[in-house]
Amino acid sequence: HSLNVKSAWLHVLSDSLASLGVIISGLVILFTGWRYADPIASVLIGGLMLVGGWRVIREAGSVFLELSPQGINPEEVIRQMKGVSGVLDIHDFHLWMITPQIVTLAAHVQVKDQPLAATQATLAELQSRLRGLGIGHTTMQLECHDCALGETFCHQLEAPEREKNGK
């Protein structure tokens, strides 16, 4: 499943097919004199190499460009996340691949205003559901719903007494 192993396997397979093509086309030319066997074998092998190489390049490009992984529907992921008890909304949602085997998610999760310790069960359930969808690495920022309504911090710190009194 590794992109490196897949590339190496494709290289070995291409070399093997090229050797086999040379042997078969050589035998055809030797026994029949038909000289088109060699270019036909070369075109077939080259075509197979191009198809395999294109697949590896496309997969590597998806990782490099941090595209959403094929086979995981982002809307379904959001629906599953919103189905967790205590989750009110999801925003700043990002889903991408670090490698074809490691799918990553980052999101802001709005929850009801509650003590931090109470959010651990919600976070554990979110991570469990995401692992079930094939998402192994997650970074989730839990936010209280009331805080997310404004553009400023929900609980701004009071200025120290000496600043209030001009001292």
117-148 pLDDT per residue, tens: 889 999 999 999 999 999 999 999 999 876 65
Residue that is written with structure tokens 């009801």 in the block: 112
Has this prediction a pTM greater than 0.75?
Answer: no
The predicted model gives 52-67 an average pLDDT of 90
CA angle 149, 154, 89 (to 5 degrees): 40
The burial of 49, by beta-carbon neighbours within 10 Å (0-12 exposed, 13-18 middle, 19 or more buried), is given as middle
Q: How far apart are CA 140 and CA 123, in angstroms?
A: 8
Residues 6+ away with beta carbon under 8 Å from 16: none
Nearest residue to 91 via CA among 146, 136, 142: 142
CB–CB of 133/125 below 8 Å?
A: no
What are the tens digits of pLDDT across the range 91-120? 999 999 988 889 999 999 999 888 888 899
Residue that is written with structure tokens 């001292």 in the block: 167
Q: How far apart are CA 31 and CA 35, in angstroms?
A: 11
- Work out the pLDDT band at 1, boundaries 50, 70, 90: confident
